[in-house]
Amino acid sequence: MSHILVATDSDDIAEEAFAALASFGTMVSRVHKGEDVREAVSVLNPDVVILDLQIGNMGGVATSIDLRHEQEAGRLNPVKILMLLDREADQWIAKEAKVDAELVKPLDAFQLRKITESLL
């Protein structure tokens, strides 16, 4: 069974992600703050981390960069990162943050499952 970690402070986004991915046969966990992602990845060892670009206190970009630095230093196992963007123009910053895939909101359950499948 695959494990996906969703990092968002939006209950709506979390509910949509859980609905789309739980029916896909995966275990889905959630954190509400970007600063909690590193520890959750260390403890839960998820296959994919879904980062909302607009997490209140530490955004998706900073969180992605943090994860990549920890992985490069050998302190975290590699993990695939999917970033949820607010608009198409955010794709540039997602690439700078070294994410593996991005999806522009609003979420589409089919697209979310398809991208997640490709990352797994």
**Domains of the chain in sequence order:** 3-119 (3.40.50.2300)
pLDDT of residue 24: 65
Q: Which of 2, 63, 78 is nearest to 31 (CA)?
A: 63
Q: What is the pLDDT along the chain (120 residues), one digit of tens a residue?
A: 899 999 999 999 999 999 999 876 789 999 999 999 999 999 999 999 999 999 988 999 999 999 999 999 999 999 999 999 999 999 999 999 999 999 999 999 999 999 999 999
Cα–Cα distance measured from residue 117 to residue 54, given in angstroms and rounded to the nearest whole number: 24
Give every CB contact of residue 18 below 8 A, 6+ residues apart in sequence.
Answer: 6, 28, 30
pLDDT of residue 83: 97
Q: pTM, whole model, 2 decimals?
A: 0.95
